[in-house]
Structure 1
Amino acid sequence: MLPSDLLSYRQSGETIIPKRLAIDDRAIALATEQINCFQECLGKTQGELDRKRQELEGDSPDYRVKRGLSHLLKNSFSTFEIVSPLEPQLLRQRTFAQSAKIQPIPANRDRILELLSTQLSQELNREVLPSDIEKGLYADLQENRILTEFEPPSPEALLQRYNLSQVQGIFYRASQVVLNAHRNVPGEYKLLFRYLKLFQLMYYIEGDVDHGFTITLDGPTSLFKASTRYGLAFAKMLPALLHVTKWSLKATLENRDPYSGAKKTGQFRLNDQCGLVTHYPPGKTYDSMVEESFAKRWEKLKTEWILEREVNLVPLPGSVMIPDFRLVHPDGRDYILEIVGFWRPDYLQKKFYQVRRSDIDNLILAVSERLNLEKAGIKMTNIPAKVIWFKEKLSPKAVLEIL
């Protein structure tokens, strides 16, 4: 993402409008120029790259755009490494210790490097040149790190990432976001909720699968103390949201007037027609080998029951549970199947808490015998579900017997 000083936006009344680049010939030329710069500096130091970037900026009025594109390339598509025969700190100790034995140092500089080169070549069982020692002495300084890998995006992809980053930056100063996720494929919801949990965001959920969900998120400025870390995590939520088909959001923003220092409130709105492109990968088809194996074995059964993947959601107070499968019969009967095969205690506690609060009467719970439920503090009493125990693989026939 972009730092605050590279964000560009304008304000119309209380509405904040981030700057977005049109993907036209002019913008593509700017992106291509930056990509070529990084490709030409592959194998060179970060210092050399930074000087080249400054030359490209020059006195151009587009310097903020160029700097923003360059920032994204540097932080998302490049790998910088310390290249040295030894850890630079250890190499300096060895070099200075060798230097102390041979006086005067300036006159014997080449001899010192030759001696150390011979020692290190024998110790490391590979050739270490004096020039390698010179380059490695301060290789841990930021400007001396080497650009060892660069995965160039297409100019269009870089511009899309830039536009996304400009919008993400809006959320750095959000006090609250109200997200309306309209009726969608449940698997899309699951991916969104997974990212909300991954980024440790605070949220409250209301609604149901038929009408959609309203998700209220606390922004970084709503905390007792504004947190840069939480602000970044909050902004990272947006690319995950782009995987959802139908949604809209309204964000309340807090900024300070640059002249008076007084707090100013702003508004920002966005929906699924925004044209932004996510770079987050789509969700996996299955969460575990147990689920995948069960689905493949079910296909071989001769039964009228149809197995559907993540097509239902169970509303809970302030949250939601997305079962693994739904089983549907042509006569209208349906059951929900949830597989509990993960062992971590906090996961088990949350899962059984959800099951007990689900308030549904058509739930089948498949539980692995390998789980240490007692250690997690879980008792298999008052479970509002039909329970199937399994060892390594869940048997479709066992589920069919319950049906």
Structure 2
Amino acid sequence: MIPSDLLRYKIDYKNNKIFPILCSLDNKNTDYQISKKIIEIFDECYNKKYNKEILNYMIKLLEQSEKDYKLVRGLYSILEKKCVFNSVFVNEKNIDSQNFNIPKETIKELTPMSIRRMIFDESALNNIAITEDKRKEILKRVSDKLETNIETTIKLMWSDLEENTIINGYNSLEPLTLLSLYNLSLIQTLLFNCLKMDIRINSNKSIGSLWKEILREIKRLGLMYWLEIDPNGSNDIICTVEGALNIIKLTEKYGNSIAKLVPLILKANNWSIKADILRVTSSGNRTIYNFEITEQSHSDKISSNTIKKIEDESQPIDDENKNNTISYDSNIEKIFAKKFELFNTGWKIDREPEPLITKFRTAFISDFILTKHENKILVEIIGFWTREYLERKIQKISQIIENYDNDNFYLILIINSENLAMYETNQDYSFSNIKNRSNVLIISYKNENISFKEIIPFLKTIERKYIDKNFEKKIDKNNVLLSIEEIFKEFNKSVNTKISLEDLNETLKLSQEKLYTNFDLKEILENNFEFKSVVEKKLRLKELIMVKDTIFKETFIREICGGLKEYRKIKNLKDVCDFLSSKKISEKIHIDLLIFMGFKIDWNGLDYSESKISYIH
């Protein structure tokens, strides 16, 4: 942020709008040249160890040559905050670069205050210096003790005054980066007198994580907020943040807090800000102006990539792949995510989705969301927290369920076993309201061990419900069965010995134009038992056999079975698998096919060559 008196803005009195005068991020305009010159001044002062007095003098010369005083001073104030100014005593390097003729051993023991004390002590011993000669005499005696000259002693004596400090720490910026920071600071400074701000964000990455970061900061800053769905039908979430409730007693306290949210908002790929800004005229009149800015309308002046780059550079990075990894609030969340992926359920898992709005217009952001087709399941993991926190959490979840209770809303609540026992004992309204719903699964975990024994069946139930509902609703079942029968008929006429369910599914889609895009025959067979029984009947009539996700001709199965029984080279399971592979049978169904044909496998570890096989029926 920059001082309020350096704010550059323009007012559209006709439309009652206010807007900061932002710099274009273009390396061919005047703003870029000014930014470059200021950076060069700082670089020179840092490298040559010029003090702040010289730095300010060089900036004043630049102000005189340029027309825009506020721009020069604004850019200067941003760079100044990124510098560390210290006395030349901070380290030996600075002393050497200033060419102070003083032994290093001596300088290590000194500070500007200690030198002043030496001079005052010497003055007290030799009476106060009331003449220039007496002054030089006292300074000479102190300089002799320091083994240096009078000029150096005077410099060191006042080296801790602000105008005498030098830049001890400084990371130079690119001109465009400085202009980006300046534009950000202008927006923040304009918001110092903000009464209310509406925020919208969108992101390619976890939108919930970004909302959670913003809402946490709002709470930390002590601001009031509420959420609502855009009434214009875009379904975007609008977060309204309030500043001072009374414009008569307005201070910059609330506006300053609101301004601190801007860098977080700019992290989003797509964002917009609307605010009410109070300005006081020279005559004392108070007027509220509208301020609006979006990423799309000002992408040439506000670069979210630049802001993010600046943030990344300002923080130490332990892992070079940090930006590509998902961060978790707790270890139990990480364990759940990794374990869920291992089950290969077909459900997509995402971290911290978009917020849901409670009936009191606050936000709830679940730890995960599972999605498949049109189904969405929120997953919330509740660890070991204080009783008060847990009660608030359960109450908020209860409000969400009341707000979003419909056929497509599901929730998995994973609670620490000790906390679950407490809920079961107390049985308050909020927990009972959650527990007694069929679309909510509540399980417990202990010692960071989450069981999926109940989770997988819960997912299967939702899939089955969805397929039953949409299979009847979206397609003509009789037409599909007729097409399947026709495909079986053509398959029997062909020289092919097998067909996968995946190929059958694609053939069905070509023959049935009205089939929805996500139509999945394998999934329907797994979840719709009535339809599966009809298909199996048609398979038997056509002398076809389905093993796992592959359909074989019955004659081919008999041929394979007979071949295995007569094949003399077969000594173990590895030989059998080699034989099946020679018949172009996929390795993933070898075991299922062998069991179907009546073979028994005597396993000896995981080594196929050590496992024996025999025919039992």
Query: TM-score, structure 1 length as denominator?
Result: 0.78
- Give the C-alpha shift of residue 309 in structure 1: 1.5
Distance 2:361 2:185 in 1: 30
Question: Which residue matches 1:124?
Answer: none
- Give the C-alpha shift of residue 320 in structure 1: 0.5
Question: Which residue matches 1:8?
Answer: 8
Question: Which residue matches 1:18?
Answer: 20
* Alignment CA distance shift 1:56-1:389 (3 Å): same
Question: Which residue matches 1:164?
Answer: 184
- Give the C-alpha shift of residue 41 in structure 1: 0.8
Higher relative contact order (CA 8 A, sep 6+): 1
The within-5 A match list for 1:80-99 is 80-84=85-89, 91=114, 94-95=117-118, 98-99=121-122
Establish whether residue 326 from structure 1 lines up as the match of residue 369 from structure 2.
Answer: yes
Question: Which residue matches 1:30?
Answer: 34
Question: Which residue matches 1:218?
Answer: 242
Check conservation: 2:202, 2:268, Cα contact below 8 A: no
Distance 2:110 2:337 in 1: 50
Distance 2:387 2:122 in 1: 57
* Alignment CA distance shift 1:303-1:236 (3 Å): same
- Give the C-alpha shift of residue 158 in structure 1: 1.3
3-state SS of paired residue (1:2): coil
- Give the C-alpha shift of residue 206 in structure 1: 1.9
* Alignment CA distance shift 1:149-1:344 (3 Å): farther
* Alignment CA distance shift 1:302-1:268 (3 Å): closer
The within-5 A match list for 1:102-121 is 102-103=125-126, 106=135, 107-112=137-142, 115=145
**Which structure shows the bigger proportion of residues in helix conformation?**
2
Counterpart residue identity of residue 337, structure 1: V
CA root-mean-square deviation: 4.0
Distance 1:163 1:223 in 2: 27
Distance 1:59 1:344 in 2: 62
Distance 1:402 1:83 in 2: 71
Distance 1:353 1:132 in 2: 70
Establish whether residue 179 from structure 1 lines up as the match of residue 235 from structure 2.
Answer: no
* Alignment CA distance shift 1:379-1:45 (3 Å): farther
Residues 261-270 or 337-346, more deviating: 337-346
Establish whether residue 145 from structure 1 lines up as the match of residue 147 from structure 2.
Answer: no
- Give the C-alpha shift of residue 34 in structure 1: 0.4
Distance 1:110 1:352 in 2: 77
* Alignment CA distance shift 1:50-1:86 (3 Å): farther
* Alignment CA distance shift 1:97-1:267 (3 Å): same
The within-5 A match list for 1:66-81 is 66-75=72-81, 77-81=82-86
Check conservation: 2:52, 2:162, Cα contact below 8 A: yes
Deviations 1:2-54 (A, max 9, x none): 21111111212211132122324222211110001001111333222212211
3-state SS of paired residue (2:255): helix
Check conservation: 2:275, 2:292, Cα contact below 8 A: yes
Check conservation: 2:112, 2:156, Cα contact below 8 A: no
Check conservation: 2:227, 2:239, Cα contact below 8 A: yes
* Alignment CA distance shift 1:357-1:257 (3 Å): same
Deviations 1:336-356 (A, max 9, x none): 222344757886565344334
Percentage identity across paired residues of the two chains: 24
Check conservation: 1:337, 1:366, Cα contact below 8 A: yes
Compare CA radii of gyration and give the structure with the larger one.
2
- Give the C-alpha shift of residue 325 in structure 1: 0.6
Check conservation: 2:367, 2:380, Cα contact below 8 A: yes
Query: TM-score, structure 2 length as denominator?
Result: 0.54
3-state SS of paired residue (1:41): helix
Check conservation: 2:383, 2:416, Cα contact below 8 A: yes
Establish whether residue 314 from structure 1 lines up as the match of residue 356 from structure 2.
Answer: yes
Counterpart residue identity of residue 154, structure 1: E
Check conservation: 1:164, 1:277, Cα contact below 8 A: no
* Alignment CA distance shift 1:318-1:257 (3 Å): same
Structure 2's unaligned 5+ residue stretches are: 90-107, 130-134, 313-322, 436-441, 459-617
Structure 1's unaligned 5+ residue stretches are: 119-127
* Alignment CA distance shift 1:287-1:52 (3 Å): farther
